[in-house]
Amino acid sequence: MSERPTAVLGSSTIGRLTLAFYLLLPLEGILRKWMFADIERIFGFVRDPILIAIYVVYAFRSRRTLPVWAAMYFIFAGLFVAYVLAFAILNATPPIVMALGIRSYVLYIPLAFILGHELSDADIRKFIIVSLYISIPISLLVFLQFTSPVESPINKGTSDDIESRFVVVAGIVRPYGPFTFTQAQAHFTALMVAITLIAWEKRRQYAIPTVLLGAGAFSTLTMGALSGTRTFFGLAALVCAAYVLAGLAAPQARQGVARLASFASVLIAFFVVFTVLFPTSFSAMSERQGEAEYAEGSTIARALRGFDISEQLNSAPLFGYGAGSGSNAATVIAGLEGFVYGETEWGRMVNELGSLIGPLAILFRVGVTLWLGWRCAKINRLTGDGAALILFGFSGYMLLYAQTTGQNQNLSFCWLAAGLTLSLCRSAQAPVAARRQF
């Protein structure tokens, strides 16, 4: 594992914009839930101007050359937009639904590749530092939500409806944190698991303050213990599995032993926090898991059903119901409730895009996930820097499985995390490339 110190440099313009984009994820919920509830819907797009600004800055900087990924993106995105436009014209699709489809399926993709190319070590360090800082007040909010009555205003979503608030068991809420829904809070907490492990790995290189690292780690353990959702536990397990893999595949035995020892320490710490500090949460989550398995069967089997699209392939129209038509935003606009075209990402994609284009879109997601995972594993083996592989435990799930095209905040988490993973790959490769020049 490289211990080279990171140069003390200012963040790049794209680095600062990326940080603003990231901070607007929790801020969106605060604006929508507690500050501007009457006009909350417009704040669902609060990050889009920052996204466009990142694209403009990058276009200006690379105006003389067109990267290979950008050329491929323009070709396939252009074909997809033409398909969506043709469908919208032939089926009188509302323009807002068409725009939502284009936004969720293709608009955010360049963010990953731009961040992967542009973020510096200083940008990555600042992202980690800020993440550790914001985890502290968010964990306090989660604690207050968990210990407050379900009907408390602190536990509201985007509406004041109490019946729709998600609970672990009767009387105990699944904390939303500053987000508009419990799923986004679970994803943020899982992301923090990866960031905390990376901060530990790079504590010397990035000069991470020990007190801040400890506070961020405890905050992350607290948010996880009080999450009340199996999504967090499953995703945290994937991040930890990636960390173990980074240890087993490390080029030096010393690195592998250190990572496995760190993993064991994390498990022990979480067990203590979960069972000793928050026994009410442990009891409620155990009861919730028992009820879920009784009603739904095996949790793993239920998760794997998300990859089964056979039913949708047999029932969906050849050209689908329209890109974006099953997204949360379109459902709200139409005044509907629930998952109109399916709860799982892959099934809904087939219903939206059709039995012809839907599987192709899924294959794209699978391909990107496999490519990114292979790159992270290769870099870990080559350099001993496991940061990218650790974060892939989160970003790989978001790319492959999460409801990215249907849920606004998942869309941002997905391509932001993929970009950070790529930037960590490039950061790890830099010393190797420098050595090869001499």
What are 64-93's pLDDT values in tens digits? 788 899 999 999 999 999 999 999 999 988
β-bridge mates for residue 201, sequence order: none
How far CA 143 is from CA of 155, 174, 198, 277, 394, in Å, comes to 11, 11, 25, 12, 24
pLDDT of residue 436: 46
Please state, in angstroms and rounded to a whole number, the distance separating the CA atoms of residues 302 and 358: 22
Cβ(402)–Cβ(19) under 8 Å? Answer: no
Helix 182-201 vs helix 210-225: crossing angle, to nearest 10:
150
Residue 2 domain-assigned (yes or no): no
pLDDT of residue 16: 95
pLDDT of residue 376: 97
Q: What confidence tier does 8 reach under pLDDT thresholds 50, 70, 90?
A: very low
- Residue 415 identity (one-letter amino acid): W
Q: What confidence tier does 438 reach under pLDDT thresholds 50, 70, 90?
A: very low
**Per-residue pLDDT tens digits for 99-152:** 999 999 999 999 999 999 999 999 999 999 999 999 999 999 999 999 999 989
Total number of domains constituting the chain: 1
Please state, in angstroms and rounded to a whole number, the distance separating the CA atoms of residues 176 and 158: 11
**pTM as predicted:** 0.92
Residue 1 domain-assigned (yes or no): no
Give yes or no for residue 198 having a pLDDT over 60. Answer: yes
Single out the residue of 148, 179, 182 nearest to residue 165, CA to CA: 182
pLDDT of residue 437: 41
Give yes or no for residue 379 having a pLDDT over 80. Answer: yes
Give yes or no for residue 31 having a pLDDT over 80. Answer: yes
Single out the residue of 97, 120, 99 nearest to residue 12, CA to CA: 120
- Residue 46 identity (one-letter amino acid): V
Please give the average per-residue pLDDT across 336-344, as a whole number: 72
Residue 87 domain-assigned (yes or no): yes
pLDDT of residue 41: 81
Range of the domain at 425: 13-436
Residue 4 domain-assigned (yes or no): no
Residue 7 domain-assigned (yes or no): no
How far CA 61 is from CA of 71, 106, 110, 117, 331, in Å, comes to 16, 22, 15, 12, 39
Residue 336 tokens read as 């509907």
Residue whose tokens read 């997905």: 414
Looking at the chain, the whole-number percentage of residues with pLDDT higher than 70 is: 94
Cβ(23)–Cβ(130) under 8 Å? Answer: yes
C-alpha angle 222-134-191 in degrees, rounded to nearest 5: 65
Please state, in angstroms and rounded to a whole number, the distance separating the CA atoms of residues 232 and 312: 27
Helix 210-225 vs helix 230-248: crossing angle, to nearest 10:
130
Cβ(357)–Cβ(76) under 8 Å? Answer: no
pLDDT of residue 388: 97
Q: What confidence tier does 339 reach under pLDDT thresholds 50, 70, 90?
A: low
Single out the residue of 65, 54, 63 nearest to residue 113, CA to CA: 54
Give yes or no for residue 186 having a pLDDT over 80. Answer: yes
Residue 6 domain-assigned (yes or no): no
Report which of residues 161 and 80 the model is more confident about: 80
Residue 244 domain-assigned (yes or no): yes
Give yes or no for residue 193 having a pLDDT over 50. Answer: yes
Quick one: three-class SS letters along the chain? CCCCCCCCCCCCHHHHHHHHHHHHHHHHHHHHHHHCHHHHHHHHHCCHHHHHHHHHHHHHHCCCCCCHHHHHHHHHHHHHHHHHHHHHHHHCCCHHHHHHHHHHHHHCHHHHHHHHHHCCHHHHHHHHHHHHHHHHHHHHHHHHHHHCCCCCHHHCCCCCCCCCCCEEECCEECCCCCCCCHHHHHHHHHHHHHHHHHHHHCCCCCCCCHHHHHHHHHHHHHHHHCCCCHHHHHHHHHHHHHHHHHHHCCCCHHHHHHHHHHHHHHHHHHHHHHHHHCHHHHHHHHHHHHHHHHHHCCHHHHHHHHHCCHHHHHHCCCCCCCCCCCCHHHHHHCCCCCCCCCCCHHHHHHHHHHHHHHHHHHHHHHHHHHHHHHHHHHHHHHHCCCHHHHHHHHHHHHHHCCCCCCCHHHHHHHHHHHHHHHHHHHHHHHHHHHHHCC
pLDDT of residue 435: 43
Please give the average per-residue pLDDT across 325-351, as a whole number: 79
- Characterize the bridge pairing of strands 167-169 and 172-173: antiparallel
**Per-residue pLDDT tens digits for 226-236:** 998 889 999 99
Q: φ and ψ at 169, to 5 degrees?
A: -135, 175
Report which of residues 223 and 4 the model is more confident about: 223
Please give the average per-residue pLDDT across 185-196, as a whole number: 97
Residue 203 tokens read as 């504590």
Please give the average per-residue pLDDT across 175-195, as a whole number: 95
Residue 93 domain-assigned (yes or no): yes
Helix 408-436 vs helix 13-30: crossing angle, to nearest 10:
160
Please give the average per-residue pLDDT across 258-275, as a whole number: 90
Q: φ and ψ at 415, to 5 degrees?
A: -80, -25
